[in-house]
Chains A and B, each alone.
Chain A
Amino acid sequence: MQQLRKPYLLLSSFFLISFFVSCRISKFKNLKQCNRVVITNKAFEPVLNKTKATKYKASIDVLKNHLTGIIIVKQTDSVSTHIIFVTEIGMKMFDFEWKNNGMNAAYVFEPLNKPTLIKALLSNFKQMLLLDVFDKSAGYCSNKKVKSYYELEGYKQRYIIADSLKGIFSQNIFNKNRKSCFISYKFATETNTYTQIKCTQFGLVKIKTELNKIDE
């Protein structure tokens, strides 16, 4: 009996994992209905406040490093938005600029300046803050598992589960059917703001980012 237990456990774990993974991928397959729409702020509330800066307590876990501090997100003119990460002691870690539909690093603290890492962080922040989502075409879909979600055009597999009143719940980004990034949101309906954003980047460069809004 004891001898049988190990292979049985292994086999059941394999089926469980396979079922779990395939479930995640299939969650957005088998469409019941899908209409082509253009995403506007009527679909769901944007993260970016166009009139004033938003500050978040931030923690970023990457490559065995645990970084914490404050992130400021501010639209500086009609085409530019800056995302600046400053540690508690006031050291600037990075300044990312979203300009003309592109995300670039305007400044990176030298010890952090690794091309693969910066590329992943630029992509994460662009997605977390929904900078590349509005005015874009998407399929507004539903199936048996998800009542309604957006499948963004121009991306291979990027899905946003959202509600016009309750904001975004999550973003699920896949690469070759494997989940590459998962972003969850907490939305406060009384203030129409996102109070928490959590992002997990899978793959070679694993990054966990958590932003908690600072009320001022």
Chain B
Amino acid sequence: MYKTLIFILFPIISLSQGFKTVKDTTALKQKIESMSKSTISIESDFTQEKNLSMLSEKIISKGHFVFKKENLLRWEYNTPSKYLILINKDKVIIKDEKKTTKYDMNSNKVFKEINDIMLSCVQGTIFKSNKFKTSYFESDKYYKLELIPQVKNMKDSFKKINLYFDKTVTSVAKVEMIESNEDLTLLDFTNKKLNAAIAETIFIVK
């Protein structure tokens, strides 16, 4: 009954937030596909806002990220903590204020999962994953892809992931991750540079 109610109310809720269902989803998918293919690199600042529903509290972190095809990602937090995640093909390096730790992606399922989500969110290709059921919405400003997890591990972590693209579909504008307990993580990207030349040395920690 509860699920049916959500199913009925879902489009109404989306409409009330200024979003309506996309009619031509094939065209939108092609636009995202073409965006993803033509994007060789992305550089952007980001603001991460974690909303803890239980405490009505926010944790705001800011940083910078650089992505380069294939599978190179430098995700760096500057406030409130210095924290760096480097993905260099199948290697993950995490450097915090005290310690640098190296992981092999193939030997760590959790990192493999996080890596897949991070890279596919940044590139906007997450909707192609069979781990999610995707619905497509639009407003005057954004296209919104609502991704509902279909596999158990994912369902345990997330209730829904919303991916926002600007209407020209040049890059991902923001990402919302809603957990089962209604905690929300919002990533907002600003000062984006697409396809600028990026040296591969920035993806190496000595």
Query: Taking beta carbons and an 8 Å cutoff, which residues of A are in contact with B?
Result: 53, 55, 57, 59, 66, 68-70, 72, 74, 76, 82, 84, 86, 88-92, 95, 106-107, 110-111, 214
Q: How far is the CA of A86 from the CA of B55 in the complex (A)?
A: 13
The answer on a CB contact under 8 Å between A57 and B110 is no
With a CB–CB cut-off of 8 A, which chain A residues contact B151? none
Residues of B within 8 A of A82 (CB): 54-55
**New A-B pairs, 16, CB < 8 Å, besides A68-B97, A90-B177:** A57-B97, A66-B96, A66-B101, A70-B59, A70-B80, A72-B52, A72-B59, A82-B55, A86-B52, A86-B59, A88-B81, A88-B83, A89-B85, A92-B52, A92-B179, A106-B54
- With A72-B59, A82-B54 already in contact, the answer to whether A89 and B114 are too (CB < 8 A) is yes
Q: Is the CB of A90 within 8 A of B110?
A: no
Q: With a CB–CB cut-off of 8 A, which chain A residues contact B50? A: 86, 90
Asked if A76 and B55 sit within 8 Å, CB to CB, the answer is yes
Complex CA gap A59/B54 in Å reads: 22
Q: Once the chains are docked, how many angstroms separate the CA of A137 from the CA of B110?
A: 46
Interface membership of B116, Cβ < 8 A: no
Q: List 11 A-B pairs, Cβ < 8 Å.
A: A57-B97, A69-B81, A70-B81, A74-B55, A76-B54, A84-B55, A86-B59, A90-B59, A92-B183, A95-B54, A106-B54
Of chain B, the residue at the smallest CB distance from A70 is B59
Chain B residues with a Cβ under 8 A of chain A: 48, 50, 52, 54-55, 57, 59, 61, 75, 77, 80-81, 83, 85, 96-99, 101, 110, 114, 156-157, 177, 179, 181, 183, 185
Q: Which residue in B57, B75, B185 is a CB contact (below 8 Å) of A53?
A: B57
Please measure, in the bound complex, the distance between the C-alpha atom of A68 and the C-alpha atom of B55, giving whole angstroms.
20
**Closest 5 A-B residue pairs measured CB to CB?**
A90-B185, A88-B83, A68-B96, A90-B50, A74-B55
Contacts of B110 in A (CB 8 A): 111
When distances are taken between beta carbons in the complex, the residues of chain B under 8 Å from A89 are: 48, 75, 85, 114
A110 to B57, CA, bound (A): 23
**A53 x B80 contact (CB < 8 A):** no
Q: What is the CB-to-nearest-CB distance from A190 to chain B, in angstroms, rounded to a whole number? A: 21
Could you say which residues of chain B place their CB within 8 Å of the CB of A91?
Answer: 157
Nearest Cβ distance between residue A214 and chain B, in whole angstroms? 5
B61, A88: Cβ atoms under 8 Å? yes
B78 → chain A, closest Cβ, in Å? 11
Contact at A107–B181, with CB atoms within 8 Å?
yes
